[in-house]
């Protein structure tokens, strides 16, 4: 925890929030939709900004790292993990690969985000497969 002093009730609240935002059950529910994924990321980020208490780190779809400070990074070696599980802890993921190189993902599509080339929705499945990229202020499918 940071140098800030927290009251007992604050500490209780912080611990409860941290438990929620680091629970596989809670996260599995949220990552089923783009809206949920963005909400999860926002909650984890705000929690870090407010309290500077580190999160556990997780890997989504064998492709993205959820960092201790609430950001999301793409894992360079994601192609090595074969048939990826939805979500796993970082220590479990590290049993598959020996080193981790990542780059920050600064911008994810939001709900109802439409590909500016094919005009179809960008879905959570596209994000899971990494099939999107920024194009100006919008997004396109990588394969479009």
Contact 82, 59 (CB under 8 A): no
Instruction: Confirm or reject binding of residue 141 to Zn ion (CB under 5 A).
Output: yes
CB of 75 to Zn ion, least distance (A): 24
CB of 138 to Zn ion, least distance (A): 11
Complex with Zn ion: residue 1 or 118, whichever CB lies closer: 118
Instruction: Confirm or reject binding of residue 80 to Zn ion (CB under 5 A).
Output: no
How many whole angstroms separate alpha carbon 90 and alpha carbon 24?
A: 12
CB of 141 to Zn ion, least distance (A): 3
> What are φ and ψ of residue 104, in 5° steps?
-65, 135
Instruction: Confirm or reject binding of residue 118 to Zn ion (CB under 5 A).
Output: yes
Which of residues 60, 65, 75, 115 is near Zn ion by CB under 5 A?
Answer: 115
Cα separations in angstroms, 106 against 31, 74, 114, 134: 18, 10, 18, 10
> What are φ and ψ of residue 31, in 5° steps?
-80, 10
Q: How many residues bind Zn ion (CB under 5 A)?
A: 5
* Binding region for Zn ion (CB under 5 A) out of 85-93, 101-109, 113-121, 127-135: 113-121
* DSSP code at position 114: B
Query: Among positive and negative, which fits the CA dihedral 123, 126, 127, 131?
Result: negative
Instruction: Confirm or reject binding of residue 144 to Zn ion (CB under 5 A).
Output: yes
Tokens 């990588």 map to which residue? 142
Complex with Zn ion: residue 61 or 132, whichever CB lies closer: 132
Tokens 């439409």 map to which residue? 114
Positions in the binding site for Zn ion (CB under 5 A): 115, 117-118, 141, 144
């Amino acid at each position: 925890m940071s140098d800030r002093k927290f009251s007992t009730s604050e500490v209780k609240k912080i611990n409860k929030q941290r438990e929620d935002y680091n629970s596989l059950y809670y996260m599995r529910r949220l990552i089923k939709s783009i809206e949920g994924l963005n909400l999860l990321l926002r909650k984890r980020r705000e929690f870090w900004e407010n309290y500077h208490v580190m999160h556990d780190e997780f890997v989504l779809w064998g492709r993205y790292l959820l960092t201790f400070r609430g950001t999301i990074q793409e894992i360079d070696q994601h192609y090595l993990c074969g048939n990826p599980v939805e979500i796993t802890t970082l220590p479990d993921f590290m049993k598959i690969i020996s080193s981790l190189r990542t780059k920050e993902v600064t911008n994810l599509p939001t709900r109802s985000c439409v590909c500016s080339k094919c005009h179809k929705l960008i879905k959570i499945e596209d994000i899971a497969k990494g099939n999107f990229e920024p194009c100006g202020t919008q997004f396109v499918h990588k394969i479009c």
